[in-house]
A = this chain, B = another copy of it.
Amino acid sequence: MGQNRIELVEVGPRDGFQNLKEYISMEDKLHYIDGLIGAGVKHIQITSFVSPKAIPQMKDARELAGHCAAMYPDVDLFSLVPNLYGAKAAWECGLKKTSYVISLSESHNEANINRTREQSLEELGRIREELPDLTILSDIATAFACPFEGIMMLDGLLELMGKIYGLGVREFVLCDTIGMAHPAQVREYVRAAMKEFPDCRFQVHIHDTRNMGIVNTLAAIECGVQGVQSTLGGLGGCPFAPGASGNTSTEDLVYMLNRMGYETGIEFERLLALAKEEHSAIPGAYSGHHINIGAQACGMNV
């Protein structure tokens, strides 16, 4: 990949929507997905295949996924699954890639998904065995820091990644789940991971709890990760911090990267308009995050 290429990976339709109390209709979800694709976004996590009782927002997953897979054959659409059952559903809907989350922190894994890390690894093994052609995007939650265990150690991260690699996974997402990482740590961990697993692809997913989403994401980009995850408007975020600003915002990233000369393939103004539309349409969702207005509002002709 060239020095100035980066894949912007939009996870808003899953990570952003999943915690919203009010159900977003499938039509509305499709509207935003369509808008993202129209603005040039090429990688989208469109839904998750989970129990509708657990996460009612995602009850339309099958229909949504089937629809998108048919409508947008050239877009890299993927989902998130917690188990083999979800993975099979994703596969049946025509999705060829899915995220699967394991926390680096044992306590966080158990608190978050009620399973030990060992159980999570076993389930991943079953998915790999039954669906060998389904590409796994391995989300390592709390890769940098954990609300219970504090700063996570690098050797533990590499060790866990080694086990996942052993199951045939070749793509990792290092997640700053509570937004506590800082650029020096991001650089250290990303470089070490990329060096240890040179045949793997890497992304980061940085939460913005301490307003460091942009700076940490850029740190990772400059270390050579292939992709970065974010959400339109920064929707979503740290589950342990009510009112905290959420995810890194896709439009902020696109603004910066386009201005820096990166080829994102995304039209900033179209994306910003969509972000503002979403911001108005989903009241209460943005309690912590403020969508920064773009260059036009400052009257700048750039």
Contacts and interface: CB of A to CB of B under 8 A. Distances in A.
Contact of A288 (B209, B256, B259, B290): B290
A201 to B, nearest CB: 24
A151 B295 CA distance: 12
A15 B240 CA distance: 33
A298 interface: yes
Interface in A106-154: 145-148, 150-151
A183 B145 CA distance: 26
Interface in A232-278: 238, 240-241, 243-245, 249, 252, 255-256, 259-261
The secondary-structure label for the interface of chain A is loop
Interface stretch (A29-37, A85-93, A190-198, A212-220): A212-220
Contacts of A288: 290, 292
Contact of A180 (B145, B151, B238, B295): B295
A216 B151 CA distance: 25
A210 B260 CA distance: 14
Nearest to A187: B260
Contact of A256 (B182, B241, B297, B301): B182
Interface in A35-91: none
A267 B192 CA distance: 31
B299 A260 contact: no
Contacts of A208: 292
A184 interface: yes
Interface string A172-213: 000000111011110000000000000000000000111110
Nearest to A222: B183
B210 A301 contact: no
Interface of A: 145-148, 150-151, 178-180, 182-185, 208-212, 214-215, 218, 238, 240-241, 243-245, 249, 252, 255-256, 259-261, 288-290, 292-295, 297-302
21 contacts: A147-B298, A180-B300, A180-B302, A182-B256, A183-B218, A183-B260, A184-B259, A184-B260, A209-B292, A210-B295, A211-B252, A211-B292, A212-B214, A214-B215, A215-B215, A240-B297, A240-B299, A244-B298, A245-B290, A288-B292, A290-B290
